[in-house]
Amino acid sequence: MEQTKKCPSCGGTMIFQPGFNYMRCQSCGHKEMIPELVSKIPVKEMDFLTAQNTASHDWGMEAKVVTCKQCGAETIQNRLQLSGLCPFCGSTTVETADPSQDIMAPDGIIPFKITEKRAFYIFKDWIKDRFLASELLAENAQLNKFYGIYVPLFTFDVLTENRFTGHYSENGRTLLRCGKFRHQVDDFPVVASKQLASDKLLLNVIKDYRTKEAKPYTPDALAGFPCEHYSIGLSEAWNSVGPDMDFYLRNQACKQNETRYLKGLDMTTEYFDLKYKYLIVPVWINSFFYDNKLYTIVINGQTGKIDGQWPKSFGTFAKKAALFFLESFGLNQYGY
């Protein structure tokens, strides 16, 4: 959702200021503090089993769902907001609809810390040694613009009971050991955006949040920024943790004395007392087309971590154009 808020002194548009805890009027500079962002109250953990009944559906404003016809991304925006660009692919072809009854509203928000200007510096540094960096930057206007957007992230708290078997060596003999340990998992992140979860590089950036710094949800921190609606539901998100959770718990097992020196560790896990938080978290996104392929670069709006896709070679179109040029001058020394 992109929130529109009118300035109380001049009627201008108020926009949330990354790095600060207030909104600022675009016309007269009037500032308004956002109390939720200075609050010391932690974001409430929600019980997973009763989630369907207790999750909030109140976005704190009149919301609408905007769907991009090119890439399928869904964002939630203020009903008063005119639909703009799709932040994922730059398309202007979008369709709006009413949000369905069961779209949960976020429990918490991590506000933008990184400004757009800072994001651009981070980006320039990241591309400086890459293929055709300055040429593409000069040619492609879209590359010079980052879009700020909030994306959905579920975090899970769960008590795990792990049973393990493994082998160890003693006096030249191999012996079997089995046992169990408990471990409380805290704020295990699962990205709820199909657009971003499909790419490992982007996923690394989106998992890099300090979730303890999340604040209670407020639509004011969205003033000027759209928010992606989750495309991976709560149950689907929890069901997808398997391999990641397994990897994480095996790392925990290595920190336990009983399992530290075991080889061929085999582990089964039972989960208890599952809780979740639905957070929206800030990213700066830059997407551009090169040779008909969409490239996406994302910057974590809280930590500044950057990653994404970048062309590695001349596209087929550029190659054909170059060949045509070489051939028409009889210069094709490449043996094509």
Binding site for Zn ion (CB under 5 A): 7, 10, 12, 25, 27-28, 30, 68, 70-71, 73, 86, 88-89, 91
Minimum Å distance from CB 274 to Zn ion? 33
Minimum Å distance from CB 95 to Zn ion? 11
Smaller CB separation from Zn ion, 73 or 104? 73
- Name the percent of the chain in helix, strand, coil, to the closest 5: 25, 35, 40
- 275, 48 in Cβ contact below 8 A? yes
For residue 276, the 8-state DSSP code is: E
Smaller CB separation from Zn ion, 188 or 284? 284
Smaller CB separation from Zn ion, 295 or 314? 295
For the stretch 190-227, what's the b/e string if a residue is b when 16 or more beta carbons lie within 10 angstroms of its beta carbon? Answer: bbbbebbbebeebbebbbebebeebbbbbbbbbbbbbb
Smaller CB separation from Zn ion, 269 or 309? 309
What is d(CA 188, CA 154) in angstroms, rounded to the nearest whole number?
Answer: 8
Minimum Å distance from CB 8 to Zn ion? 8
User: In this structure, what token pair is assigned to residue 195?
Assistant: 């657009």
Smaller CB separation from Zn ion, 65 or 71? 71
Sign for the pseudo-dihedral over CA of 156, 158, 163, 167: positive
Smaller CB separation from Zn ion, 30 or 183? 30
User: In this structure, what token pair is assigned to residue 32?
Assistant: 């308004």
SS3 label, residue 143 = helix
Smaller CB separation from Zn ion, 83 or 211? 83
Minimum Å distance from CB 67 to Zn ion? 9
SS3 label, residue 35 = helix
Minimum Å distance from CB 108 to Zn ion? 26
Minimum Å distance from CB 61 to Zn ion? 20
37: left (phi over 0), alpha (psi -120 to 50) or beta: alpha
Smaller CB separation from Zn ion, 18 or 87? 87
Dihedral (Cα; 13, 16, 20, 21), 10-degree rounding: 100
Minimum Å distance from CB 208 to Zn ion? 24
Smaller CB separation from Zn ion, 152 or 189? 152
SS3 label, residue 25 = strand
Minimum Å distance from CB 140 to Zn ion? 17
What is d(CA 27, CA 24) in angstroms, rounded to the nearest whole number?
Answer: 9
Question: Nearest-CA neighbor of 157 among 190, 189, 186, 183?
Answer: 186
Minimum Å distance from CB 90 to Zn ion? 7
What is d(CA 239, CA 246) in angstroms, rounded to the nearest whole number?
Answer: 13
Angle (CA) 302 138 289, round 5°: 70
Largest alpha-carbon pair distance within the chain?
A: 83
How many residues belong to the chain? 336
The amino acid occupying position 5 is K
